[in-house]
Protein backbone atom coordinates (compact mmCIF):
# COMPACT_ATOMS: atom_id res chain seq x y z
CA UNK A 1 0.00 0.00 0.00
CA UNK A 2 2.78 2.46 0.78
CA UNK A 3 4.04 2.16 -2.81
CA UNK A 4 1.56 4.89 -3.74
CA UNK A 5 2.74 7.39 -1.14
CA UNK A 6 3.95 10.53 -2.85
CA UNK A 7 2.56 9.49 -6.24
CA UNK A 8 -0.14 11.28 -8.17
CA UNK A 9 -2.45 10.36 -11.03
CA UNK A 10 -1.23 11.21 -14.54
CA UNK A 11 -1.83 14.89 -15.24
CA UNK A 12 -3.32 16.62 -18.27
CA UNK A 13 0.09 16.94 -19.94
CA UNK A 14 0.77 13.20 -19.62
CA UNK A 15 -2.58 12.34 -21.22
CA UNK A 16 -1.83 14.82 -24.01
CA UNK A 17 1.57 13.22 -24.65
CA UNK A 18 -0.13 9.80 -24.93
CA UNK A 19 -2.64 11.25 -27.39
CA UNK A 20 0.09 12.84 -29.51
CA UNK A 21 2.05 9.56 -29.52
CA UNK A 22 -1.05 7.86 -30.91
CA UNK A 23 -1.18 10.35 -33.78
CA UNK A 24 2.53 9.83 -34.49
CA UNK A 25 2.02 6.06 -34.57
CA UNK A 26 -0.77 6.20 -37.17
CA UNK A 27 -0.11 4.91 -40.68
CA UNK A 28 1.63 7.65 -42.71
CA UNK A 29 -1.42 8.49 -44.84
CA UNK A 30 -3.33 9.42 -41.66
CA UNK A 31 -0.61 10.79 -39.36
CA UNK A 32 -0.02 14.02 -41.28
CA UNK A 33 -3.69 15.06 -41.64
CA UNK A 34 -4.37 13.95 -38.04
CA UNK A 35 -1.76 16.45 -36.83
CA UNK A 36 -4.02 19.22 -38.14
CA UNK A 37 -6.67 18.26 -35.56
CA UNK A 38 -6.33 20.19 -32.33
CA UNK A 39 -6.10 18.10 -29.14
CA UNK A 40 -7.58 19.46 -25.90
CA UNK A 41 -7.32 17.71 -22.59
CA UNK A 42 -9.59 18.69 -19.71
CA UNK A 43 -10.39 17.02 -16.41
CA UNK A 44 -14.11 16.80 -17.27
CA UNK A 45 -16.32 17.60 -20.26
CA UNK A 46 -17.77 21.13 -20.29
CA UNK A 47 -21.38 21.34 -19.14
CA UNK A 48 -22.60 22.50 -22.56
CA UNK A 49 -21.21 19.29 -24.15
CA UNK A 50 -22.99 17.16 -21.58
CA UNK A 51 -26.24 19.10 -22.02
CA UNK A 52 -26.06 18.87 -25.83
CA UNK A 53 -25.53 15.11 -25.67
CA UNK A 54 -28.08 14.56 -22.86
CA UNK A 55 -25.41 13.05 -20.61
CA UNK A 56 -26.00 13.48 -16.89
CA UNK A 57 -22.88 11.76 -15.54
CA UNK A 58 -19.64 13.43 -16.73
CA UNK A 59 -17.78 10.14 -16.16
CA UNK A 60 -19.66 8.67 -19.15
CA UNK A 61 -17.76 10.78 -21.71
CA UNK A 62 -14.06 10.04 -22.19
CA UNK A 63 -13.57 11.79 -25.53
CA UNK A 64 -15.33 13.86 -28.17
CA UNK A 65 -14.66 14.96 -31.74
CA UNK A 66 -15.80 18.52 -32.35
CA UNK A 67 -15.67 19.46 -36.01
CA UNK A 68 -16.81 18.64 -39.51
CA UNK A 69 -15.72 15.18 -40.71
CA UNK A 70 -13.47 15.26 -43.76
CA UNK A 71 -16.06 13.22 -45.67
CA UNK A 72 -18.60 16.03 -45.15
CA UNK A 73 -16.42 19.13 -45.55
CA UNK A 74 -17.21 21.59 -48.29
CA UNK A 75 -15.61 24.80 -49.48
CA UNK A 76 -18.96 26.35 -48.60
CA UNK A 77 -18.59 25.51 -44.89
CA UNK A 78 -18.18 28.44 -42.55
CA UNK A 79 -15.56 27.28 -40.08
CA UNK A 80 -15.88 28.98 -36.71
CA UNK A 81 -13.42 26.76 -34.81
CA UNK A 82 -10.74 24.20 -35.60
CA UNK A 83 -11.45 20.48 -35.70
CA UNK A 84 -10.74 19.37 -32.14
CA UNK A 85 -10.50 16.13 -30.25
CA UNK A 86 -11.30 16.53 -26.60
CA UNK A 87 -10.08 13.96 -24.07
CA UNK A 88 -11.37 14.02 -20.52
CA UNK A 89 -8.78 12.91 -17.98
CA UNK A 90 -10.92 11.96 -14.98
CA UNK A 91 -13.39 9.76 -16.95
CA UNK A 92 -10.42 8.16 -18.74
CA UNK A 93 -8.68 7.39 -15.45
CA UNK A 94 -11.93 6.05 -14.03
CA UNK A 95 -12.46 3.71 -17.01
CA UNK A 96 -8.82 2.60 -16.86
CA UNK A 97 -9.14 1.72 -13.17
CA UNK A 98 -12.42 -0.13 -13.76
CA UNK A 99 -11.02 -2.15 -16.67
CA UNK A 100 -7.77 -3.15 -15.04
CA UNK A 101 -6.74 -5.11 -18.15
CA UNK A 102 -5.15 -2.44 -20.39
CA UNK A 103 -2.45 0.15 -19.91
CA UNK A 104 -3.43 3.80 -19.68
CA UNK A 105 -1.58 4.41 -22.94
CA UNK A 106 -3.61 1.70 -24.68
CA UNK A 107 -6.87 3.21 -23.46
CA UNK A 108 -5.91 6.75 -24.50
CA UNK A 109 -4.85 5.42 -27.92
CA UNK A 110 -8.16 3.58 -28.31
CA UNK A 111 -10.15 6.71 -27.47
CA UNK A 112 -8.01 8.84 -29.83
CA UNK A 113 -8.48 6.40 -32.71
CA UNK A 114 -12.23 6.34 -32.10
CA UNK A 115 -12.40 10.15 -32.17
CA UNK A 116 -10.12 10.34 -35.23
CA UNK A 117 -12.53 7.91 -36.91
CA UNK A 118 -15.20 10.62 -36.67
CA UNK A 119 -12.82 13.14 -38.25
CA UNK A 120 -11.73 10.87 -41.10
CA UNK A 121 -15.10 9.18 -41.65
CA UNK A 122 -13.60 5.73 -41.06
CA UNK A 123 -15.74 2.61 -41.19
CA UNK A 124 -15.61 -0.05 -38.48
CA UNK A 125 -13.29 -2.03 -40.75
CA UNK A 126 -10.95 0.94 -41.08
CA UNK A 127 -10.87 1.35 -37.31
CA UNK A 128 -10.16 -2.36 -36.80
CA UNK A 129 -7.12 -2.14 -39.10
CA UNK A 130 -5.65 0.75 -37.12
CA UNK A 131 -6.81 -0.03 -33.59
CA UNK A 132 -6.13 -3.63 -32.57
CA UNK A 133 -8.01 -2.97 -29.33
CA UNK A 134 -9.94 -6.24 -29.26
CA UNK A 135 -7.06 -8.58 -30.21
Q: Which residues pair with 56 in a beta bridge?
A: none
Provide the 8-state DSSP code for 18.
Answer: H
Q: How do the pLDDT tens digits run along the chain, 135 residues long?
A: 556 666 788 999 999 999 999 999 988 888 998 999 999 999 999 999 999 999 999 999 999 999 888 788 777 767 778 899 999 999 999 999 999 889 999 999 999 999 999 988 888 787 777 776 545
* Residue 85 and residue 119 in contact, taking contact as beta carbons nearer than 8 Å: yes
Quick check: is 4 in a domain?
no
Residue 124: predicted pLDDT: 78
Quick check: is 20 in a domain?
yes
Q: Which domain holds residue 35?
A: 10-67+80-130
Number of domains in the chain: 1
Residue 69: predicted pLDDT: 84
Residue 48: predicted pLDDT: 94
- Give the separation between CA 90 and CA 58, rounded to whole angstroms: 9
Quick check: is 120 in a domain?
yes
- Please give the torsion angle defined by the CA atoms of residues 118, 36, 16 and 90, in that order, rounded to the nearest 10 degrees: -30
CATH number of the domain enclosing 102: 3.30.2010.20
Amino acid sequence: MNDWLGRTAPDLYTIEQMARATVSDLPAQFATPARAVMIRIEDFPPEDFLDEMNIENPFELTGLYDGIPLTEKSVMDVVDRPDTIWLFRRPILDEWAERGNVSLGQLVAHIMVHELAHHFGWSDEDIAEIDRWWE
